[in-house]
């Protein structure tokens, strides 16, 4: 089978720069899209698009990419990519796809659009053209997380009673990652509710982003509550999930996982408690998660394998974001999610 030709649009932090982070390299085999495109045996990385002369020169000199261009209009017509990895801001997703008539698949960063209407337009375009659209919620590429989602969580701690989440550095930037993660583990959300007035913070990476505590009710009836942290002190995006038979903690942004069983209560007869002295370490697969996300897209194109993080699924996350903000405007009442 011929290799799939790929073009990388945007050559910034997540596309390429993270590959040069020496601290990141100690824990992560694939920290950027460039590393995956270089190494994947079924992909031919043929071009880089970026308006920066310096970035285009880096693509040629560091990564050996022969075809670079400042925009898609300048891309030679002969390139005809099968895959576009879009690592730009969300403003241009739909127009970029419209300019690439040969696409079979795309891998994009969140969010899908500058607003919910733009996100839906992107999803509709990909569906209309039968383009496999994968969104890089990278935790879905972590083998350990997939095992938890496929029954491992219930096997460890029984039916989930409740869960708590922490996010930082922005509601649209990182809360959405944790929303996607908890959906992966617990299923679909029935309603969302803001717990106080959202606060806009100009220091956040996404312009106009904000922070707000919120609560989700799942179709199972489980309630999950999220609060935000200030990344000026330290970074954290985490989940703590409480079941009938113990607790699972996923912390340090998903890079550490621990499962805690039950034991007889230390200070009360006839009762149990969670045994926090005896953690079962769950080996994390985040080091290769970026690679696995690309590999799943390639398999979806070649073999019609289901996508782990489809644009349709990602749109559910953005519906939840919108519901939380609607709740804040409607006296903090729960907002039902679209069916």
Domain coordinates in residue numbering, the chain: 4-139+290-309, 140-285+318-329
* pLDDT score recorded for residue 296: 98
How many Å apart are CA 207 and CA 210, to the nearest integer?
9
Rounded to an integer, what distance in angstroms lies between the CA atom of residue 161 and that of residue 241?
8
Mean pLDDT of the chain, nearest integer: 96
Distance CA 265, CA 231 (A): 36
Are the C-beta atoms of 170 and 223 separated by less than 8 Å? Answer: no
Average pLDDT, stretch 235-247?
98
pLDDT tens digits, one per residue of 305-328: 999 999 999 999 999 999 999 999
Beta bridge partners of 273: 263
* pLDDT value of residue 90: 82
Q: Is 223 exposed, middle or buried (0-12, 13-18, 19+ CB in 10 A)?
A: middle
Distance separating the N- and C-terminal Cα atoms of the chain: 39
Task: Name the burial class of residue 230, with classes exposed (0-12), middle (13-18) and buried (19+) by CB atoms within 10 angstroms of its CB.
Answer: exposed
pLDDT reported for residue 206? 86
Two domains, one topology: 4-139+290-309 and 140-285+318-329: no
Greatest distance between any 2 Cα atoms in the chain: 76
**Orientation of helix 311-329 relative to helix 176-186, angle to 10°:** 110
Name the phi and psi angles at 306, rounded to 5: -60, 140
* Helix H or strand E segment including 323: helix 311-329
pLDDT higher than threshold 80 for residue 280: yes
The Cα-based distances of 206 to 50, 198, 202 in angstroms read 20, 15, 9
Q: Looking at residue 142, what is its pLDDT?
A: 97
Residue, of 113 and 264, whose pLDDT is higher: 264
180, pLDDT greater than 90? yes
pLDDT at position 207, please?
85
Contact 157, 259 (CB under 8 A): yes
Tens digit of each residue's pLDDT (9 = 90 or more) over 30-82? 999 999 999 999 999 999 999 999 999 999 999 999 999 999 999 999 999 99
Q: What percent of the chain has pLDDT over 90?
A: 92
Q: Is the pLDDT of residue 188 over 90?
A: yes
Q: Which two tokens stand for residue 49?
A: 């698009």
CATH match for 4-139+290-309 among 3.30.70.260, 3.40.30.10, 3.40.50.720, 3.30.465.10? 3.40.50.720
pLDDT in tens, 146-166: 999 999 999 999 999 999 999
Give the model's confidence band at 185: pLDDT under 50 very low, under 70 low, under 90 confident, else very high. Answer: very high
> pLDDT grade, residue 289 (50/70/90)?
very high
Residue 284 pLDDT exceeds 80: yes
Average pLDDT over residues 8-29: 95
Average pLDDT value for residue range 179-193: 98
Q: What is the pLDDT of residue 136?
A: 97
* CATH class of the domain whose range is 140-285+318-329: alpha beta
Mean pLDDT is lowest, of 22-26, 173-177, 199-203, 275-279, for: 199-203
Please write the tens of the pLDDT for every residue from 90-115: 888 899 999 999 999 999 999 888 88
């Amino acid at each position: 089978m011929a290799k799939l030709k790929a073009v990388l649009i945007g050559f910034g932090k997540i596309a390429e720069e993270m590959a040069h982070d020496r601290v990141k390299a100690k824990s992560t085999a694939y920290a950027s899209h460039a590393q995956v495109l270089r190494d994947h045996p079924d992909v031919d990385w043929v071009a880089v698009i970026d308006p920066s002369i310096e970035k285009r020169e880096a693509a040629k000199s560091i990564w050996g990419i022969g075809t670079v261009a400042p925009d898609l209009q300048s891309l030679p017509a002969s390139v005809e990519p099968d895959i576009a990895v879009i690592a730009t801001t969300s403003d241009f997703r739909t127009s970029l796809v419209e300019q690439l008539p040969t696409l079979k698949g795309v891998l994009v960063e969140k969010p899908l659009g500058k607003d919910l209407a733009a996100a839906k337009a992107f999803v509709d375009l990909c569906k209309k053209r039968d383009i496999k659209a994968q969104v890089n919620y990278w935790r879905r590429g972590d083998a350990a997380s997939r095992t938890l989602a496929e029954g491992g969580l219930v096997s460890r701690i029984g039916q989930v009673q409740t869960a708590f989440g922490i996010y930082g550095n922005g509601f649209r930037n990182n809360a959405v990652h944790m929303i996607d993660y908890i959906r992966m583990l617990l299923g679909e959300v029935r309603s969302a509710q803001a717990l106080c007035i959202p606060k806009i913070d100009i220091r956040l990476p996404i312009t106009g982003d904000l922070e707000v505590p919120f609560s989700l009710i799942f179709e199972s009836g489980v309630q999950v509550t999220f609060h935000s942290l200030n990344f000026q002190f330290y970074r954290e995006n985490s989940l703590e999930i409480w079941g009938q038979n113990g607790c699972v903690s996923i912390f340090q942004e998903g890079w550490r996982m621990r499962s805690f069983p039950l034991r007889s209560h230390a200070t009360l007869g006839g009762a149990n408690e969670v045994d926090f002295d005896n953690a079962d370490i769950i080996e994390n697969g985040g080091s290769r998660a970026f690679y696995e996300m690309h590999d799943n897209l390639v398999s979806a194109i070649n073999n019609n394998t289901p996508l782990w993080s489809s644009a349709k699924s990602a749109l559910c996350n953005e519906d939840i974001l919108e519901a939380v903000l609607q709740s804040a405007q409607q006296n903090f009442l729960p907002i039902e999610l679209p069916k």
